Amino acid sequence: MVFSSIPFLYYFLPCALLLYFAAPRKLKNTVLLLTSMVFYGWGEPKFVFVMLLTVFQGYLFGILIEKSGGRRAGVYLAVSAAISLGMLGYCKYADFFIKNFNAVTGLSVPLLKVTLPIGISFYTFQILSYIADVYRGSVPAQRNFINMAAYIAMFPQLIAGPIVRYADISVQLNDRRHSFEKCALGIRRFILGLGKKVLIANALGELCSIFRESEDKSVLFFWLYAAACALQIYFDFSGYSDMAIGLGRIFGFDFPENFNYPFISKSATEFWRRWHISLGSWFRDYVYIPLGGNRVKRFRWLCNLMIVWFLTGFWHGAEWNFIVWGLFFGVLLILEKLALMKILEKTGILRYIYIVPVVLLSFVLFDAASLSEAWIYIKSMFGAGGLPIVSAEGLYYLKSYCGILIIAFLGATPLISAGIRKLREKKTFAKVLNIMEPVVLLLLMLVITGYIVDGSFNPFLYFRF
């Protein structure tokens, strides 16, 4: 079940909210857990048991770590991490290692063809951060299994994040505030996120699909695809994060922000401070800093950075293009830290000109089916192979999708939100906006529903991670 579907919007969610708000305070987490199980098991019921098993071991070892302390606590931490990572490795990476083993050795070891449980990368990292924080003494172990399972399995953020740490909502699991104002803000955030997904990301995804099937490609068409691809991924994932944060508020939780207008960045370093913030901070706190961060000798520091970016790429998918994508950013960030940043700071607007094509090229690599395809695409963007600069089909689709591209570019900047904020500062406009907002949101929801009913292109890209 996905958020941008009729069953979720008009059957599951109303029932879940009705049950949740009708339940007494002591049973709200139980209702949240049970509805989350229904949500997760809607399409893959067998994987509910995989997730619950992973949650249970995290719950058990969290208590054991807190009770034991010392060296034994370290052993429990290692065992729990091995179980979580082992499950993730088996489901997500087993066939990758087998394929590469066969390629190196010439053997034909059969692939396991394990179906990837949806959201396993996200809830695995949440469990890992929980047991690490218990080991450090940052948070107390959760003694109530229902609360622990509700934290991990909470359907708003279960499938594709943001990666919510236990420390962020530990207090709210036991005592959270529900209010009309918080609920209204949550509904607004959810509808806007749904609009980003259905009205913008899906339209850009259609353009990317048209490009892949086209036999009349040109340099212009390749760059058009690169821009559409990068924006599609952004609006798809940030839209999901907005919906998750909005639903969290309705249920009384405050989830961390996951995006902060990354396309206005002036460097790759800044881009990754603004893109998928919960993942970047997770790797910083649980990999980079424990490895020594930048408090070690330069060579070790550079190795630490490359390890983090290798893992960042590998986390996204079990293919070489994801690994190279991560290492690409690792090398770029190292260059910026060593020398490039000093040069960029003196160039003014040229910093934007530098980062935009770099980001577009990186997402071509990210979206490719293989490294060889990525290399062909990147070469073609610069006219390799005698590719024409412009083609009739490329011009046609540029004109056809010009409107949605302009909307996407504006929506990827803070211009619209800043304009609305300034209007709210004026009393007259503020009153009008307050009256119009519910009407606009209702109309937007009707339009979104029409697109969902009429459309067939509706994937969530980050489900595969």
Q: Which residue has the tokens 């930048």?
A: 294
What positions carry a catalytic annotation?
Answer: 316
Task: Report the distance separating Cα 338 and Cα 346, nearest Å.
Answer: 15
DSSP string covering 316-377: H-SSHHHHHHHHHHHHHHHHIIIIIHHHHTTSTTHHHHHHHHHHHHHHHHHH-SSHHHHHHH
Task: Report the distance separating Cα 238 and Cα 236, nearest Å.
Answer: 6
Tell me what percent of the chain is helix, strand and coil, each rounded to the nearest 5. Answer: 75, 0, 25
Contacting residues for 415 by C-beta, under 8 A, at least 6 apart: none
Alpha-carbon dihedral of residues 397, 402, 408, 409, nearest 10 degrees?
A: 120
Please compute, for residue 355, the number of CA atoms within 13 A of its CA located in the half-sphere on the CB side. Answer: 22
Alpha-carbon dihedral of residues 243, 245, 250, 251, nearest 10 degrees?
A: 120
| Tokens found for residue 211 | 């490009």
Task: Report the distance separating Cα 149 and Cα 129, nearest Å.
Answer: 15
**H or E element: which one contains 243?**
helix 219-250
Alpha-carbon dihedral of residues 152, 155, 161, 165, nearest 10 degrees?
A: -30
Please compute, for residue 154, the number of CA atoms within 13 A of its CA located in the half-sphere on the CB side. Answer: 32
Q: How many CB atoms lie within 10 A of CB 338?
A: 11
Nearest in space to 360 (alpha carbons), one of 269, 263, 272: 263
Contacting residues for 421 by C-beta, under 8 A, at least 6 apart: none
Q: Are 275 and 262 in contact (CB under 8 A)?
A: yes
Q: How many CB atoms lie within 10 A of CB 453?
A: 8
